[in-house]
Chain A
Amino acid sequence: MTTVITVPSSLDDVTFEQVLEHLAPLPPDAKILLDARHVRWASPYGLAALLTLAQTRAVRPAFAPPEAEETSSYWTRAGFFRHAESLYELQRGAARTRQSGESSVLLEITPITKAGDVHEVVGRIQQRAQAILQGELGIDAKATIGFSMTLSEACQNIIEHAGRGGWVAVQSYTWKKRLGRRVVVIAVCDAGVGFRQSLETNQGRTRGDRWDDGMALEEAVIRGVSRFRDPGRGQGLAGIRRYVGKWSGKLSVRSGTARIAIVPPWDDDVPLAEQLPAFPGAQMQITIPERVPAR
C-alpha cells in the first residue's frame, strides 16, 4: 500500500513539518507518494528538503509535481526536477523550461559532496549576491563578502559533518506573510548523521544526563562545539551567527527531533523547538532581510 502525503500549498521550513509529521511514523521502506499537485509556492528550504527527504527513503518515493504551470516552471528553473528525476518516481513530465534566468534564484539547487563544490558555489554566487544584497535589500556592498563566507561555512557543514552529500539553494523573494519585506534565503539540507551523532564521535567530551538532539544543537550552534578535537573547529557556525546578528537576520538549524534558532526581533519563532517529528541529517536556513532606512 502506498501512503499519500500531501505537500502544503505553501512549502517552507514551517509547513515542511506537516510533511514530516506524516512521514515520521512510516518505516523507511514504506511506499510513499508525495502529492505536490496543489503547491503554489516553495522556499529554497522547501525544495532542498524535498530532495533530502527522498534520500532518507529505502524505497524510491513517488512524486506528483505541481499542476500550476507557473509553479512547476519555477521549480524547474530552480533546478529541482533535474535532481528529483534521480531520487523520485516522477508521476508526469515536469515542466521543461530554461534552467536559469529567474532573477530571484541566486543559486539553483546544487549538490554539495566535496570541497570543490563549495569553491564552485562561492565563485558562482558572488556577482549575483552583490546585485541582490545591495540593489534589492539595501545592504552594504561589503556585506556581500560576508554573505559568501556564510554560504561557504554553511556548505562546509555538510562536508565536515554529514557523512554524505547534501543540497544548497539561495533565493530572494518578498516575504509578505511574516515580514512584508524582501529577504534573501540560504537553505542547506542533508540527510546525514545529524548533529547529535556527529558530536557523539568526539569521545573526549563528557556529557551530562541530558543528551539529545536539542542539547547537541545548543552545543554546536551556540557554544561552537565540534566533533573534532582541533581547537580551531566550530568557528564556521560562530561566523554565521555573527553575520546573521549584524544584519538582523535569522538562523535556524533543524536536526533529528529538534530545531534551534537565532531569532531576530521581527520574528516570533521559539529559540528551541523539541520533540519534532524525527528526520535524519541537518537542515539549515539563513534569512537576511531587506534593510529598512532609519527614520
Chain B
Amino acid sequence: MINHIDVSVVLRGTVCDLYSNLVTRPTGAAVRAEIEQQLAELGGRTLTVIDFTHVGLLDFSCADEIVAKLLLKYCDSAEGSRPRVDGARGEGYFVFRGINDSHLDAIEAVLEHHGLALVVDRGEEGAQLVGTVGDGERRAWETVHQLGAADAEELADAAGMSPDDANRLLDTLCRRRLLMRLDDVYVPIGIRR
C-alpha cells in the first residue's frame, strides 16, 4: 500500500493552522516527528509519498530537518553510513511529490551536504533522482525504471555492465531506498512515464 502524507496538512496540524511556509528548525523538527509517528504506526515496509504541493516556502533549515533527517533515519548515504532505524522495525521508502524549483534548491543543498539522494515524482516528466548519486548508480536506476523491474542479470544485459557491477549497484540502490527489492527482482519506487 502506498501512503500519502500532505506536508502542508502536517504543518498546520502540528505547528500552526495559519502557516503555509516551512521555515525554521523547530517547525521542521515538529513536522518530521509527526511524519515519523505516522510511519511508526504503519510499521514494516512502507512506501510513502511525501507531498509538498501546498507548501509555499521551504528554507534550508526546514529542508534539513524534514527531508535530510527523515532519509538519514531510513536510508544509507552515498558514503554508506547506515540508517538509524532497524530495517526489521521499519523499512521506509519515500517518493517526494509537488517539489517546485525553489523547494529543489533547498532540498538539493541538504542532500549534497549529507550525501543523500531521493526520488522525486515530477508529474508528467516522471520520476527523477535528486541528490548525491554516482554515474553508475544513476545508469542502473534509470535502466531498472525503463525495464519496469529487473534482477542483476537483466540489468547487466540492458545496461552493458558486468553482473558483479549490476549486483553491487542494485544492492546499493536498495540500501539507499531508491529501489525496492521484491524477492529476486528490484522495482522502481517512482513512476516513470
- A146 near B27 (CB under 8 angstroms)? no
- For B25, give its contact among A122, A160, A239 (CB under 8 Å): A160
Residues of B contacting A: mostly: helix
Assess the B24–A235 pair: CB atoms within 8 A: no
Chain A residues with CB under 8 A of B16: 116, 119
Cβ contact within 8 Å between B109 and A238: yes
Contact of A232 among B21, B57, B58, B113 (CB under 8 A): B113
Q: Which residues of B contact A236 (CB under 8 A)?
A: 59-61
Interface centre among B21, B58, B68 (most CB of A within 10 A): B21
Chain B's closest residue to A231 (CB) is B114
- In the complex with contacts A156-B61, A232-B69, A236-B60, A119-B24 CB distance below 8 A: yes
Q: Are B69 and A152 in contact (CB under 8 A)?
A: no
Q: Is residue B185 contacting chain A, with contact meaning CB distance below 8 A? A: no
Inter-chain contacts of A242 with B (CB < 8 A): 109
B27 and A142 contact, CB distance less than 8 A: no
Interface residues on B, range: 20 to 34
- Chain B residues contacting A122 (CB-CB under 8 Å) are 21, 23, 57
**Which residue on chain B has the smallest CB distance to residue A237?**
B60
A143-175 at interface with B (beta carbon < 8 Å): 145-146, 148-149, 152-153, 156, 159-160
Q: Are A152 and B110 in contact (CB under 8 A)?
A: no
Q: A116-B16, A145-B102 are in contact. Are A239 and B60 (CB under 8 A)?
A: yes
Interchain CB contact under 8 A, A152 and B101: no
Using a CB-CB cutoff of 8 Å, which residues 91-139 of chain B contact chain A?
Answer: 101-102, 105-106, 109-110, 113-114
Which residues of A are at the interface with B, using a C-beta cutoff of 8 A?
Answer: 115-116, 118-119, 122-123, 126, 142, 145-146, 148-149, 152-153, 156, 159-160, 231-232, 235-236, 238-239, 242
Q: What are 6 of the A-B contact pairs (CB < 8 Å)?
A: A115-B24, A123-B21, A152-B24, A152-B59, A156-B61, A242-B109
